[in-house]
Amino acid sequence: MSFLESMWGALPGTLETAQTTYENAFSWGGPNRGLITNALINASAVDPGASPTTRLRPGLVLGVITSTGQWTNYSPTATDGSQVARGVLLTALRMTDVVSGNTTNRFYGVLVGGPVVASQLYGLDQKARADMFGRFVFDDDHFGNRFPWKASVAKTANYTVAASDNGVAFDNTGATAGVKFTLPALANGLRFAFRVVANQNVSVASSEGTNIVCFNNASASTLSFATANQLIGGYLILEANDSATKWHASQLSPSNTLTIA
């Protein structure tokens, strides 16, 4: 379906001219494909991937400004409430008035739950997926990264973890030598676990260096289970913080000695 982006969302009494047509099939499933709410979209909303950014595309991930209850584009680094992904814009909207050129509030429906095609959502990141999971069903991930772990994967040799491994719990089952896991570049919403099953050293290293926060250290580069007789059962969780500046480490095996470097 096509939408004329300046026809929709105009406040009562506003006369405007259509300028751009967008197509974006971002939902999937049967005829009843989601929950929709009416929304007042703040004049400051932008679509960072559009040109100009004041033209919002259908499928744009949205958040809510806490102080006003108005909707705006989701931004993981915001501090006004829009750092939490809440919904998806249903149609294209031009946020500028055709006569004055000034930005203005718009009123239109927002999808707040239902099946969506992840690749067709604009501004979606791993944190947004976590925020939206439970209300939205992603075509490429029915599990969601808020639940403990979507898979348990054994590695017997050094492995560079990919962002697409998000939500995976790794272990070293079957290893006959030490295994080093190298984390991907920091990004919002990334979360991994690492367990020692075989009696071999296991280390987890930042690919960027000095950005792991662990016990009594805010700038570690590598965490290792490497003390003889204190390996099996070692368990770490590494999570990216919301600003994607630090890995937060949680050691869930207090009896094991963790080496920090």
Q: In whole angstroms, give the CA distance from residue 200 to residue 232.
A: 8
The predicted model gives 244-257 an average pLDDT of 88
Q: Is the pLDDT of residue 147 over 80?
A: no
Residue 257 exposure: Cα atoms within 13 Å on the Cβ side: 7
To the nearest whole percent, how much of the chain has pLDDT over 90?
A: 62
The DSSP code sequence of 23-55 is E---B-SSS---EEEEEEEPTT---TTSSSTTE
Please indicate whether residue 93 or residue 139 has the higher confidence score (pLDDT): 93
Residue-level pLDDT at 5: 47
| One CATH from 2.40.300.10, 3.90.1150.10, 3.90.550.10, 3.40.190.80 for 2-138 | 2.40.300.10
pLDDT at 256: 74
Whether 110 and 83 have beta carbons less than 8 Å apart is answered as no
pLDDT at residue 133 is higher than 80: yes
**Cβ atoms 182, 207 nearer than 8 A:** yes
Answer yes or no: are the C-beta atoms of 174 and 156 closer than 8 Å. Answer: yes
pLDDT tens for 86-130 read: 999 999 999 998 888 899 999 999 999 999 999 999 999 888 888
Q: Give residue 30's pLDDT band: very low, low, confident or very high (50, 70, 90).
A: low
- pLDDT-wise least confident of 25-39, 164-178, 223-237: 25-39
d(CA 134, CA 113): 8
Confidence class for position 64, pLDDT limits 50, 70, 90: very high
197 exposed, middle or buried (CB, 10 Å; 0-12, 13-18, 19+)? Answer: middle
User: Per-residue pLDDT averaged across 138-157, rounded?
Assistant: 78
The DSSP string of 147-193 is SS-SEEEE-SS-EE--GGGTTEEEE-TT-SS-EEEE-----TT-EEE
Give pLDDT, residue 129: 86
Q: How is domain 151-260 classified at the CATH fold level? A: Jelly Rolls (2.60.120)
Determine the pLDDT at residue 3.
Answer: 43
Domains 2-138 and 151-260 share a fold: no
Domain ranges, ordered by start, for the chain: 2-138, 151-260
**Mean confidence (pLDDT) of the chain:** 87
User: CA–CA distance from 162 to each of 122, 167, 187, 248 (Å)?
Assistant: 21, 11, 11, 17
User: Both ends of the chain: CA-CA distance in Å?
Assistant: 55
The confidence score (pLDDT) of residue 59 equals: 95
H or E element, residue 218: strand 217-220
Q: Tokens 């089952």 map to which residue?
A: 173
Percent of the chain clearing pLDDT 70 (strictly above): 86
Distance CA 116, CA 34 (A): 9
For 1-12, the pLDDT digits (tens) are 444 444 556 666
pLDDT of residue 48: 95
